[in-house]
Chain A
Amino acid sequence: MTAQIGRLPAPAVRRIDYGVFVVLSRLVAIIALVVVLAILSPQFLTWGNASNVLRQASLQFLMAAGLTLVVLTGGIDLAIGAILGLAACLSAALISQGHLVWGIVAGLSAGLAAGSVNGLLVTVGRIPPFIATYGMLWIAHGLGYVFMKGEVIYGLPDGFRLIGAGFVWGIPVPVVIAVVLLVVLHVMLHGTVLGRAIYAIGGNPNAARLSGMPVRPRLIIVYALSGVLSGFAALIVIARVNAADASIGEDLLLPAIATVCLGGTSLFGGVGGIAGTAIGALILALVVNGMNLLGVQTFWQSGVMGAIILISVLADQVGGARLIGKRS
């Protein structure tokens, strides 16, 4: 009897253990990567390269931020890359013709529209998230190609390019933007009704519904937010590469999912957070940077992303299950 009563608070303690496990394993991964790369490549520990890694990490974070919110609700958004591509094309077309404000509005609205449709399909349409967003992937992809007709847009105004390629006191602008977004989303997740709803829906959707939470409207907002953030990331990406074509978002889905997985956010929902995604983005940027420095063929990148997804999810499942003491 006493033993059982004594065991009661255990789950809470073990949950913290799981968080510690995730943070520690990522810290070890970062240190290991830095040490190995510093030994293998003399260029790694230079200020220029560090700034490169940080910029790469911030772009990675921007692309995975919206996805993190969706995954926290127990859903998935496979359309983020394609939405980013479509938004990038629309924005680049308008901005390159001098309509700066309209270009930004178009990119963000395209993201908002596609994301809202995803949300409606998942909630009102009752379509499983991965099939609804996978359908949206092909729709956005197709529309991007229809809009571009195989053309490439390049040469964006310098003022606009600042948000992707500029510096503030020596720090790349995307890094500043990513840090601001990280703080905003962290506060949103832990200090607002919407944030608590996201965790509640991911933890137990039925309990959330039965406790009177408006689950469907909240879910629609989350998918819409994911779309808007993809549109926002599109602006930074085109400002950085100074060009856009219809295929710009094609290879961005796997890295974004890898970032979220590396960040320790559970794919079953309810566990994790946006800070983890920032750590995941840093690890991924280090891996990509290392591959570039060591001259690994780019053909291998999607394979490495796939392997990272499998390994990080498996490690959290095995390691995390042992600590939490149960398997989902």
Chain B
Amino acid sequence: MTETTLHPQLIQRSAALEILKNAPGAFYLLALIGIVLAFGTPGFFTVANLTNVALQVAVLSIVALGMTLVILTEGIDLSLGPVLGLCGVAASLMVVAGYPLIGAVAVAIGIGVTSGLLNGSLIAAAGLPPFIVTLGTFGIAQSIATVLTRGDSVVQLPAYYRWFNDGVFLAVPVPIWATAAVFAVTWILLYRTKFGRYVFAIGGNRQALKLAGTYVNVYHIAVYVYAGVLTAVASFIMTARMNAAHPTIGVGLEFDAIAAVILGGTSFEKGHGGIAGTIVGALAVGVLRNGLNLLEVGTEWQVAIVGVVIITAVGLDSIRGLNT
């Protein structure tokens, strides 16, 4: 796991300690919340509630997996929340208007690809700062979604639409299958392909990659496109879960996703991190929100508390020297 020049015996002895020391904040946060909830609320460790948590975390995990790749390239994508809203609204409008589902899926994915291309080319080819570019697309996606529905919700979705959230295949809910599939695909892409190696390399040393004669921009843009596509996938689960599509459905999701990635130990600098941590991070954020619900903390406080927890976790990680 970690490169060390210590004597093998020393490594043996300190292996457990080493893992604890290097574990990202998400592990500690998850453990802490787990303990608090186990004592504080009898309803937490029940199959029903844990399934509920897993379902809640599915959308966040899928978006956060895409965000992980973006952050590994020293980027950020603030537009993923509104893009999810836009995908959900566009796809729902189509099925409600009677178009076949496949068309709606194509449109949603097309929106994800388009926003990814826009973000990616402005960031990679034009060299603009990621947070400002994606803040621009944030506004544009939000606006188009609102204009499409005139600010209302899209309701009366066909019954089959709920399958994306309620469906069960081989005793496991569809959202969990989807998360597993996205994780598997992302894992292969990241650790078994040239694309994956370049993702780490772009974050580590973009200039070197460019000088080595690679078409860096193509891979860099592909990262944002991939994040957009995953967001489109997640939008179906989200819409089915709400049984309606609203333009603001994804607002704030990008923040939870960034939090999951950072809590999961991926650093904003130098391409350090990975996707396994992101899943733990997403669980930590999901369990935190679920726990605050069980403890009957109001939504307003939840927003503030999640903000505090995340800043604290990122700060602690950075002070421990994991980030920066």
Contact = CB atoms under 8 A, between A and B. Distances in A.
Interface of A: 76, 78, 121, 125-128, 130-132, 134-139, 141-143, 145-146, 254, 257, 261, 267-268, 297, 299-307, 309-310, 313-314, 317-318, 327-328
Contacts of B142: 302-303, 306
Contacts of A137: 307
B311 A127 contact: yes
Contact of B314 (A131, A297, A306, A310): A131
Q: Report the interface size class on chain B.
A: 35 or more
B252 A310 contact: no
Interface string B284-321: 00000000000000111111111110110011001100
A261 B138 CA distance: 16
15 contacts: A121-B315, A126-B315, A132-B314, A135-B314, A138-B307, A141-B303, A142-B301, A142-B304, A146-B301, A257-B132, A261-B132, A304-B143, A309-B132, A309-B136, A314-B126
Contacts of B140: 302-303, 306-307, 310
Given A143-B304, A146-B301, A327-B127, A314 B122 contact: yes
Contacts of B252: 138
A328 B123 CA distance: 12
B40 interface: no
A145 B150 CA distance: 25
Question: Interface majority SS on A: helix, strand, loop or mixed?
Answer: helix
A119 B324 CA distance: 17
Contacts of A267: 128-129, 132
Contacts of B306: 138
A313 B302 contact: no
Contacts of A145: 299-300, 303
Question: Interface majority SS on B: helix, strand, loop or mixed?
Answer: helix
A125 B311 CA distance: 9
Contact of B126 (A132, A135, A303, A317): A317
B27 interface: no
A76 B131 contact: yes
A135 B319 contact: no
B189 interface: no
B304 A302 contact: no
B43 interface: no
Given A130-B131, A299-B151, A136 B138 contact: no
A146 B300 contact: yes
Contacts of A125: 311, 314-315, 318-319
Contacts of B141: 306
Contacts of B129: 267-268, 313
A137 B142 CA distance: 18
Contacts of B302: 142
A7 B255 CA distance: 48
B304 A139 contact: yes
B101 interface: no
A131 B262 contact: yes
A62 B48 CA distance: 51
Given A134-B255, A138-B303, A313-B132, A300 B311 contact: no
Contact of B311 (A135, A307, A314): A135
Which of B133, B143, B324 has the most chain A CB within a 10 Å cutoff?
B143
Contacts of A135: 307-308, 310-311, 314
A306 B137 contact: yes
B147 A318 contact: no
Which of A143, A301, A310, A314 has the most chain B CB within a 10 Å cutoff?
A310
Given A299-B151, A303-B143, A306-B143, A131 B258 contact: yes
B55 interface: no
B127 A317 contact: yes
A295 to B, nearest CB: 14
B107 interface: no
Contact of B308 (A139, A257, A318): A139
Given A257-B132, A313-B133, A306 B138 contact: yes
A275 to B, nearest CB: 21
Contacts of A254: 135, 138-139
| 8 nearest CB pairs, A to B | A303-B143, A306-B139, A142-B304, A142-B303, A145-B300, A138-B307, A139-B307, A310-B136
A142 B298 CA distance: 10
Given A135-B314, A146-B301, A297-B147, 9 more contacts: A126-B318, A135-B310, A142-B305, A257-B132, A267-B128, A306-B136, A306-B139, A310-B122, A313-B133
B178 interface: no
Contacts of B300: 142-143, 145-146
A91 to B, nearest CB: 19
B143 A301 contact: yes
Contact of A134 (B128, B143, B258): B258
Contact of A136 (B133, B144, B307): B307
Contact of B128 (A121, A301, A304, A317): A317
A128 B324 CA distance: 9
B137 to A, nearest CB: 6
A310 B324 CA distance: 28
A310 B122 CA distance: 8
Which of A127, A261, A327 has the most chain B CB within a 10 Å cutoff?
A127
